[in-house]
Homo-oligomer: A and B are copies of this chain.
Amino acid sequence: MTVSRVLRNRGDVSAATRERVLAAAKHLGYVPNKIAGALASSRVNLVAVVIPSLSNLVFPEVINGISSVLEDTELQPVLGVTHYRPEQEEKVLYEMLSWRPSGVIIAGLERSEASRAMLRNSGIPVVEIMDVDGEAVDSVVGISHKRAGRMMAQAIIDSGYRRIGFLGSKMPLDHRARKRLEGFTDALDAAGMSLADQEFYEGGSGFGKGREMTQAILERTPDLDFLYYSNDLNGAGGMLYCLEKGIDIPGELGMAGFNRIDLLDGLPMQLATMDSCRREIGEAAARIIAERAGADNATGGEQVVLMPTLTLGDTLQRN
């Protein structure tokens, strides 16, 4: 009836009636029931956001990007966390899709066939984010982690380092870290080189973890001249360790991380790193959903490949 029209400011309603309705609504403390509205209109202003973890600094930043864009729209993010487990992803996705959201933003490209089928059949915009090395269901926004690994390897080689060690997490399901390492070793291969040593860890990253790993790898292989960390936080810990040991950085030993964590600016030296464009990824993904939710032409299949920028900092510039 008219009330509905007023509250959605749609259609033609006289100013007088409008006022009367608004007054009554306020007076009664009326809050519309979106469930009924959504059922009737089959429009839901929710966007499903599915990510592997909240412990890793990276994902809050992506969400930040998403939510900053969605704030200017009618849309609202709903969060699902998978803990890097494909079965959990399936479950979360099923739950979320049963709300018939306006779109799905989901991290990564690797998932079970069941999850992929759900996404395909959902009939709503799907944006897979963070990674572009693989087959997307619909749209995709991210960086190429393989390329990021290759770029870093090239920069290291170009600086004249030869005995390179890798320090990363052993999570087999973190496909992006795996791809970076692949790209990295590919580039070493191409230059006729290979990794001199590797060190893996479990659990969360941090300065402490970086210190331990660095100590371990340097004791095992003292002649390394470069350490490539899968993660800035660990890299920074390693850097602090080496500085204390009086190791000459970047002359004797160079180092680099990944992710360009802003809060690290202000450490004694700036760690070489590569920006993973997290905020931009979130923003671009949200923008795709927002646009497609407005106009209901079924475009789809957008591809946004962002270019990570390399920061040499103070720890990668030997020659």
Contact A237 B266 (CB under 8 A): yes
Contact A263 B35 (CB under 8 A): no
Interface residue A195 (Cβ < 8 Å from any Cβ of B): no
A28 CB to closest chain B CB (Å) equals 10
CA distance A80 to B211 in the complex (A): 37
Contact A29 B117 (CB under 8 A): yes
A43 CB to closest chain B CB (Å) equals 10
Contact B266 A206 (CB under 8 A): yes
Contact B207 A267 (CB under 8 A): yes
Q: Which residues of B are found within 8 Å of A32, using beta-carbon distances? A: 98
CB contact list, A50-84 vs B, under 8 A:
54-55, 57, 59-61, 63-64, 67, 71, 76-81
Q: How many residues of A contact B (CB 8 A)?
A: 57
CA distance A80 to B77 in the complex (A): 8
CA distance A34 to B48 in the complex (A): 14
Interface residue A202 (Cβ < 8 Å from any Cβ of B): no
Q: Which residues of B are found within 8 Å of A96, using beta-carbon distances? A: 76
Q: Which residues of B are found within 8 Å of A121, using beta-carbon distances? A: 29
Q: Which residues of B are found within 8 Å of A55, using beta-carbon distances? A: 60, 64
Contact B267 A99 (CB under 8 A): no
CA distance A32 to B96 in the complex (A): 11
Q: Which residues of B are found within 8 Å of A31, using beta-carbon distances? A: 94, 97-98, 118, 122
A58 CB to closest chain B CB (Å) equals 11
Interface residue A148 (Cβ < 8 Å from any Cβ of B): no
A180-215 CB contact bits vs B (8 Å, 1 = yes)?
000000000000000000000000111111110000
CA distance A171 to B77 in the complex (A): 26
12 contacts between A and B (CB under 8 A): A29-B121, A35-B38, A36-B39, A39-B39, A46-B78, A76-B95, A78-B79, A206-B263, A206-B264, A209-B266, A233-B263, A240-B268
Q: Which 5 A-B pairs have the closest CB atoms?
A: A207-B266, A208-B266, A206-B263, A60-B60, A34-B98
The residues of A with any CB-CB pair to B shorter than 8 Å are 29, 31-36, 38-39, 44, 46, 54-55, 57, 59-61, 63-64, 67, 71, 76-81, 94-100, 117-118, 121-122, 204-211, 233, 237, 240, 244, 262-268
17 other A-B residue contacts (CB within 8 Å) besides A29-B117, A54-B60, A208-B265: A31-B122, A33-B100, A34-B98, A34-B100, A35-B35, A35-B38, A36-B39, A57-B57, A59-B60, A67-B79, A71-B81, A76-B79, A204-B263, A205-B263, A206-B264, A207-B264, A240-B266
